[in-house]
């Protein structure tokens, strides 16, 4: 089995949310898809350990907000990598209440769906939850965020509870054993020059929590870090722009 084949599947990215006993809960997910047209139903796959899963099962409602292409990294980080028990994920975002009672994200979303749960299926680590769409709306004409763009732009891993999570070691192992013919562009470059350049640049670092890669050549414009800043020169209070982890959680590549 080739794990990288799974990265060829296309997805969007969504904030999936519910409200139970007056409290909002939600997470970021890529696994949401329309499964019937009349009446329209949408399925989501939610990890059993995800606190939101239990709340959706109890409330029997969920909303799906479709994120726009340029969404804030802190929004993605908090909904993707943090628990509602650690932080109030909804404290800084604009929401409105859907007809079912579920919270809908207004900023950073291009459209939303409001759903009533009509059936659930235990599929092992996850629960497949199917909701009938009670209402939906388009918020803006901005381009929606795709999972591929998110992965390419931020060099991100999927959160461990995502249905599409693949251990980094497995992907690295495949990369290491890939045959050279898969990368013909390398053959046209003088290898000695490429190697020399790499030894002169500062190391990149990876966040061990979410997989975000800090590249010194690019800096981190989202956190006000100029291109050309080595990791060692980042301020002590630098935080991962995705999951908010401190510098101690980064590992040199």
**What's the min distance (Å) between Cβ of 209 and Fe ion?**
4
Residues 6+ apart with CB under 8 A from 45: 29, 31, 123, 126, 127, 128, 129, 163
Cα–Cα distance for residue pair 42/30, rounded to 1 Å: 13
61 vs 245, beta carbon nearer Fe ion: 245
Nearest by Cα to 65 from 115, 14, 24, 116: 14
84 vs 241, beta carbon nearer Fe ion: 241
**What's the min distance (Å) between Cβ of 13 and Fe ion?**
16
**Is 116 in contact with 61 (CB distance < 8 Å)?**
yes
96 vs 168, beta carbon nearer Fe ion: 168
Taken as a whole, the chain contains a residue count of: 253
**What's the min distance (Å) between Cβ of 207 and Fe ion?**
3
112 vs 205, beta carbon nearer Fe ion: 205
**What's the min distance (Å) between Cβ of 212 and Fe ion?**
5
Task: Indicate the burial class of 122 (C-beta count within 10 angstroms; 0-12, 13-18, 19 or more).
Answer: exposed
62 vs 154, beta carbon nearer Fe ion: 154
**What's the min distance (Å) between Cβ of 4 and Fe ion?**
22
**What's the min distance (Å) between Cβ of 222 and Fe ion?**
12
**What's the min distance (Å) between Cβ of 156 and Fe ion?**
8
**Is 84 in contact with 28 (CB distance < 8 Å)?**
no
Binding residues for Fe ion (CB under 5 A):
207, 209-210, 212, 240, 242-243, 245
11 vs 154, beta carbon nearer Fe ion: 154
The encoded tokens of residue 109 equal: 């979303």
162 vs 210, beta carbon nearer Fe ion: 210
């Amino acid at each position: 089995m080739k794990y990288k084949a799974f990265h060829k599947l296309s997805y969007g990215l969504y904030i999936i949310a519910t409200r139970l006993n007056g409290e909002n809960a939600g997470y970021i997910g890529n696994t949401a898809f329309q499964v019937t047209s009349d009446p329209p139903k949408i399925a989501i796959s939610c990890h059993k350990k995800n606190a939101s899963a239990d709340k959706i099962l109890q409330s029997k409602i969920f909303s799906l907000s479709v994120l726009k292409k340029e969404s804030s990294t802190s929004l993605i980080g908090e909904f993707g990598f943090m628990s509602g028990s650690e932080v109030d994920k909804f404290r800084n975002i604009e929401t409105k209440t859907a007809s079912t009672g579920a919270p809908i994200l207004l900023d950073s979303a291009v459209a939303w769906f409001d759903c009533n749960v009509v059936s659930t299926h235990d599929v092992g680590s996850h629960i497949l939850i199917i909701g009938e769409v009670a209402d939906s709306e388009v918020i803006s004409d901005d381009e929606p965020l795709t999972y591929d763009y998110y992965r390419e732009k931020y060099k991100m891993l999927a959160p461990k509870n995502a249905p599409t999570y693949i251990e980094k070691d497995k992907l690295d192992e495949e990369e290491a054993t890939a045959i050279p013919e898969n990368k013909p562009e390398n053959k046209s470059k003088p290898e000695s020059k490429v190697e020399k350049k790499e030894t002169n640049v500062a190391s990149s670092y990876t966040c061990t929590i979410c997989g975000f890669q800090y590249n010194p050549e690019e800096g981190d414009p989202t956190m006000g870090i100029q291109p050309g800043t080595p990791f060692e020169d980042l301020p002590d209070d630098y935080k991962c722009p995705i999951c908010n982890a401190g510098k101690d959680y980064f590992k040199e590549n």
